[in-house]
Structure 1
Amino acid sequence: MRGINGKGSIYTLAGNRRKKFAVRVTIGYDEDGKPIREYLGYFETKIEAKDYLDKYNLEHPYTPKLITKLKYLFEEFIKYKKDSISKSTLDSYKYSFNYLKEFHNSRLEDLTFMQLQNILNNCDKSYSTKKQIKNVISHLYKFALINQINVLDNSRLLNIGKNIKSNKRKAFKKEEIQLLFDNLGIIENIDLVIIMIYTGLRSTEFLNIEIENIDLEKRILIGGGKTKAGTDRYIAISNKILPLIKNRIGDREKGKLVLINNKEIKYSKLNEIFGNIMLSLGLNHLPHDTRHTFATLLSNADANTASIRKMMGHSSYEITEKIYTHKEITEFINAVDLLE
């Protein structure tokens, strides 16, 4: 039976003992951050043990001490958070914490503001990565406070600079796409990124795809928006993502393709999921890069230029009545099959 942090605990001893309930308290930590415990007494019943522990705490008020290394504090923080946030968020925390590697064996109260600021200054990653590093540092200070550890919060004044947005699109490299596939079943919702790469759908278009508009047998989905040419366009389904789409649909016959915990999500949530996945893998991409990647992959595979533009929904290939011929659909399929 665990008590409140710093208030001791009741431990059930193994074997056939008359007094099998032990009362113990943590009196400090060794140099590796492991707790040093002292046993105060042994009792026949848990009620007797609890009464003794309550009396002990009244007579010996707990004074919290921090003698633990940063890496152990982070481990406890992960245990504390793991049941309340998604796996992808936990993975992004772990990835961001690696940027503090040179201080993993340091104590939180020994870290100076400039040591933490220099980590951000020397980071050559994106604004979102720096923001997540600062976020993890802030979480550690808050976690220390929750555990009654009084330490100056150096995270409040950390500066990550301005978020300078660039219009430059950066396609996923071949090895980065393979990394995404390698982490299927490991990183939560990573299939969403792969499907976006192989359909060229914008984030909002992707979230609005209806199951009724997906023909798995013909390998065609209907969706899109933003421009007149892009609305309700046909997009061929590559065999590389056909199993992922089937898995997303399951036994459902209608509704949105993309559901998280059986609920539709908004653009901001998809961005969050995407960002956490990029952080987990150490990649530096924005959601729109998936659309650019789709066009780049098809172009590099010498796919039919008209098919690429039509599936992308470019205005120069507007189809007035949105009627696709069998020949056009076949050309779409042939185009994505070049990506196998």
Structure 2
Amino acid sequence: MRNPNGYGSVVKLSGKRRNPYMAKITVGWSDEGKQIVKPIGYYRTKQEANIALAEYNKNPYDLDKSTTTLKELWELFYEKKLNKLGICNQKCLISAYNNHVKPLYDKVYREIKSYDIQDIIDNSNLSYSTQSQIKNLFNHLDKLALETEIIQVSYSSLLTTDKTPETTRTILTDEEIEKVKNNRQNLTYKVILLLLYTGMRGSELFKIENKNINLEERTIKGGIKTENGKNRIIPIHNYIFDIVQEFYNEDNKYLINNYKKVTFCANFKKIFPHHTVHETRHTFRSKLDSAGANQKCIDLLMGHKSKDVGNRVYTHKTLDELRDTINLLK
């Protein structure tokens, strides 16, 4: 059936092509009376081309934008949006773009379908976390593409990843914690105690600066990774206050000085070969849960997002509540 005047058409191009069908529309006429046409895109099948033509006629868009490639969209995202995200999220998105989607760099973004991305996720033997990073990348790119009217439909929501792997993390037992306490004169055990009684990540603790230690108020200010985790305030538990005092030195930048994180992690593994350093953080949460601590206070201490937290404003009342929560640990 013939298309209506001004609707556009689909033609098959000569030669061997991956996408031989071109959908095109007339955008004007030359002085000689010849049609001036612009392609909407190139497609594998005639059906795909006709669908694209129908979508264009239903919601016409700027054809100059329609040629934007994945690489060009990423560059725009990098310039306008990336720095508004958390540091960890930025690194994951950059890694996903640099390492896993190169086959799509020069492909027109509006022509990338969910199955193009799904092929990368399914056929590259990637871990669950990397698959999730790729999906997250296209979620962000689709939002920008919708905002700038490069696309009218988001396909990233159709992407699937492997099921979340079952966690193998376990908390330290009471006997293992007692072992740490009994060896608190040793440097490695002292650092383990700091982790167990603050709930901080290892990477966070080793970046705590002395300027963010308030011995008078008995608080530590620090944290990384997420907006909720950054610069959170953690009261210093009575049991580890002497260790903090020992480590504290205004002449040094960091609380933990002359002891590299990589060395600590190696020593930790020798002490607890079946645990990871991060499991001290899980132990912290588990012990507070068992002690009946307030969920809001636990989330504030750990830097987790919580619907109950709201705006993170540390009043005297809030700090007193956090201190009471910390001191539930024995």
The TM-score by the shorter chain falls in which range? Answer: 0.3 to 0.5
What TM-score do the two structures reach when normalised by structure 2?
A: 0.47
> Higher relative contact order at CA 8 Å, sep ≥6: structure 1 or structure 2?
1
TM-score by length of 1: 0.45
